[in-house]
Amino acid sequence: MAVRVTSAVVGALIFIAVYAMGLVPLKIGAAVISIIGMYELYTAVSGKLKPVHFVGFAAEIWYVFMYGDIKYFDPFEAVSETKYIFGLDHDMILIAVIVLMVLMVAMHEKTSIHDVSITVFGFLYVGMLMYCLVILYQMNKLFIWIPLISAWGSDTCAYFVGVKFGKHKLAPVLSPKKSVEGAIGGVIGAAVLMTLFIFIAVKAGFIGYTYDLKNIWQFALVGAGAAAFSQVGDIAASKIKREMGVKDYGKIMPGHGGILDRFDSVLFTAPTVYILINWFVSRWVEM
């Protein structure tokens, strides 16, 4: 337990330091974390890192530093847009697909369609979803904390509620330790934590809007929605590990495992928070 807590504290201090340095260091940090997470996924699924996987790494770097600055996304306008798809340049997608196919042909003895598929999936699942943290930072610097609080606050609340009251298994095959009662406790706990976080942020002047009960509850619902999806993200990551026969994705974080073991729920809360804030909350919040 001491190793786990120490590792978490060190990780939190590193994140806070990068956060305080501004957008560019945050982008670099997001790229590094994403590439490590993609590496963990690629090696877990393919058994080892293969040349085709480097296309995923290159796509992530390209996305982060060239086409990842989408603060506000209107899904209805995006339907008619052919140039960009959620910050992805159309030409980038074409080039990546062609390169992947060329590599599969040129290295056909060592590269399968399975390897190509996991390369694409790794970029979409880890790279793009993780980068939603940076997009939230661009919307409002404090918004980056919402998916983190929702994910890790939910995990903590779910653990204690589950230990005390858990009787019904949530996903007995994929994650036998999780309970329905714990999941509910996690969602409620995240909503409460988010209410307190936004209340303090508003009172401190970091987020501006006309404070009333309706508005604060909208943020509470964002926290609750993100917490619900964080548990899906956790179970989804467990599904992949169970199918591949691995206990942890890596060992980079002592006591926790790999990057994906620590951020599996955040990969779901970050896009969930972005979508909820962008589609609903941004209509009345002063960014």
Which parts of the chain sit beneath pLDDT 70? Answer: 1-5, 7-8, 67-93, 108, 206-215, 254-256, 280-287
Residue 40: its pLDDT value, please?
Answer: 92
Q: Please calculate the CA angle 39-41-42 and round it to the nearest 5 degrees.
A: 65
As a whole number of angstroms, the distance between CA 210 and CA 98 comes to 50
The pTM assigned to this predicted structure is 0.81
Give the number of other Cβ atoms within 10 Å of residue 138's Cβ.
Answer: 18
Could you tell me the CA-to-CA distances from 264 to 36, 155, 159, 167, 249 in Å, in that order? 13, 11, 16, 25, 10
Residue 34: its pLDDT value, please?
Answer: 92
Residue 8: its pLDDT value, please?
Answer: 67
Which of 258, 261, 249 has the alpha carbon at shortest distance from 44? Answer: 249
Give the number of other Cβ atoms within 10 Å of residue 104's Cβ.
Answer: 17
Could you tell me the CA-to-CA distances from 85 to 79, 164, 217 in Å, in that order? 9, 45, 31
